[in-house]
Amino acid sequence: MRIAYWIVTVLTGLLLAASGVPDVLMIPAALEVFRHLGYPDYLLPFIGVAKILGGLTIIQPWFARLKEWAYAGLAIDVVGAAYSHLAVGDGPSGWVPPVVALALILVSYGLHRKTTPKSESFSVY
């Protein structure tokens, strides 16, 4: 169970962290998607930094409470992305990637809860 947790979590964390890099760098493709969704350019680097920090946070093994918040923030991010693509009428190529990311986050979180002793679940350490 712990091996499955670490495989899914490292994959999910790195995938989400890597998806934040184009946002932070404000590459033209990321700006184009963001503008298509109707969001202001200045929000893109903020979202990118949040994705990078959230992805790296779920990978670290020390701060359980911070990890809980990171899972919540990442889930909100991808649910918002899926909703935004649906709201502007995008097809599956727009909303499926965030839904897949949400599935990975949920699996990682579920395995995290199963493999973390109850005494550590909400510990700061």
Taking the C-alpha atoms of residue 7 and residue 94, their distance in angstroms, rounded to an integer, is 26
Q: Which of 52-56, 90-94, 98-102, 120-124 has the lowest mean pLDDT?
A: 120-124
Q: Which residue has the tokens 């395995």?
A: 111
Encode pLDDT of 15-65 as tens digits: 999 999 999 999 999 999 999 999 999 999 999 999 999 999 999 999 989
Cβ-based neighbours of 36, under 8 Å, separated by 6 or more: 88
Q: Is 89 left (phi over 0), alpha (psi -120 to 50) or beta?
A: left
Q: What pTM was computed for the model?
A: 0.89
